[in-house]
Structure 1
Amino acid sequence: MGEFRPVPDVLAYLAGSWHVERSVRDRAGGDEGRFDGITRFSPLKRSGLLHEESGTFVWLGVARPAERTLRFLPGPTPGTADVRFADGRPFHDLDLTSGRHVADHPCSADLYRGEFTVRDADHWRTVWRVAGPAKDLLLTTDYARVG
């Protein structure tokens, strides 16, 4: 993808509901899974957004409900975000002022590297590559604004 859409304020851009389609591929074993659901970015009381994702994850033919919660807080510079897990631990930074951002998150001996790209006002994508002794995964998520 060569064209990215700059986003002057990531929190304003993300606010609202998004349909989510995620493919998960185990590059070591070849297994593949899929998540389909909704992500809602709603205002937090003080500032920032609460990210609540829920849907169905299918792995090895078995469908299960899945959900996660993150907090997107204002970042160190205007228009950026500091992404945190629900318990407050740091996850990654997010700066989409150029329309594209790469972030790393070390997790034990594994490294998560995320690439975020904005396609247009209503579509964005994340690609996480997870590599290390315990994992070799590729997670590609497409978001489409609802409504």
Structure 2
Amino acid sequence: MAETKWTQGRSRDDFLGDWVLTRRIEDRHAGQAGLFEGTAQFVADGDSGAIYDESGLLHIGSAAPLKAERRYLYDFSGGMITIRFADGRDFIQFNPASVHQAVHACDPDAYRAHHDFSRWPQWHAVWTVTGPRKDYTMRTMWQRR
């Protein structure tokens, strides 16, 4: 396996600080596209954790933009990235030095993620979400502010 930039000494501290993010949403079920533009911030939490907050505007079709925000709890211990919802419930976990993929089952829906750190400090995540009433892809890019 080729060594990624992650395995070349990256750690939680490399994520800390401010980021600009762009998220493109392709909703095949609803037949529309969306664009989220905003900022994200990682703030240290303990020895290996970080609190992730993002906020920005969500544009869907010709509707007025909506303010959107979310929070996740990250843990970078044991060579893994573990992401939890703001209330502490498990979301996903993956090994950034190898597969970069994770699945979150939320019956009856499935959330599949692929993270790409190969162009650090710019990084991407692609989420594919499927279920009886869901069929969309979100592509998010983060870059240093």
Contact 2:53 2:72 in 1 (8 A): yes
Moved over 4 A (4+): none
Corresponding position: 1:30 with 2:31: yes
Q: Residues 132 and 113 (structure 1 numbering): CA distance in 2 closer, same or farther, change over 3 Å?
A: same
Distance 1:80 1:48, change over 3 A: same
The answer (yes or no) to whether the contact 2:72–2:86 under 8 Å persists in 1 is yes
Distance 2:81 2:123 in 1: 16
Which structure 2 residue ranges, 5 or more long, are not aligned?
none
In 1, the alpha carbon distance for the partners of 2:103 and 2:6 equals 20
Do the aligned partners of 2:81 and 2:96 also contact (CA within 8 Å) in 1?
Answer: no
Equivalent-residue separation in structure 2 for 1:101 and 1:58 (angstroms): 28
Q: How does 1:1-147 map to 2 (within 5 A)?
A: 5-8=4-7, 9-45=10-46, 47-62=48-63, 63-75=65-77, 77=78, 79-98=79-98, 101-146=100-145
Q: Is the 8 A contact 1:11 1:80 kept in 2?
A: no
Gaps in structure 1 of 5+ consecutive residues? none
AA aligned opposite 1:21: T
TM-score (structure 1 length as normaliser): 0.87
Q: How many positions carry a matched residue from both structures?
A: 141
TM-score normalized with structure 2 length = 0.88
Q: Kindly provide the CA deviation profile for residues 106-131 of structure 1, in whole angstroms up to 9, marking residues without a partner as x.
A: 11200000000013232000000001
Identity across matched positions, percent: 31
| Cα shift at 1:45 | 4.1
Indicate the SS of the match to 1:120: coil
When the two chains are superposed, the root-mean-square deviation of aligned CA atoms in Å is 1.9
SS of 1:13's partner is helix
Name the aligned partner's letter for residue 13 of structure 1: D
Distance 2:23 2:100 in 1: 19
Which SS does the other structure have where 1:122 is aligned?
Answer: coil
1:46 positional shift: 5.4
Where 1:119 maps in the other structure, the secondary structure is coil
Q: Any conservation in 1 of the 2:12–2:48 contact (CA below 8 Å)?
A: no
Structure of greater relative contact order (alpha carbons < 8 Å, 6+ residues apart)? 1
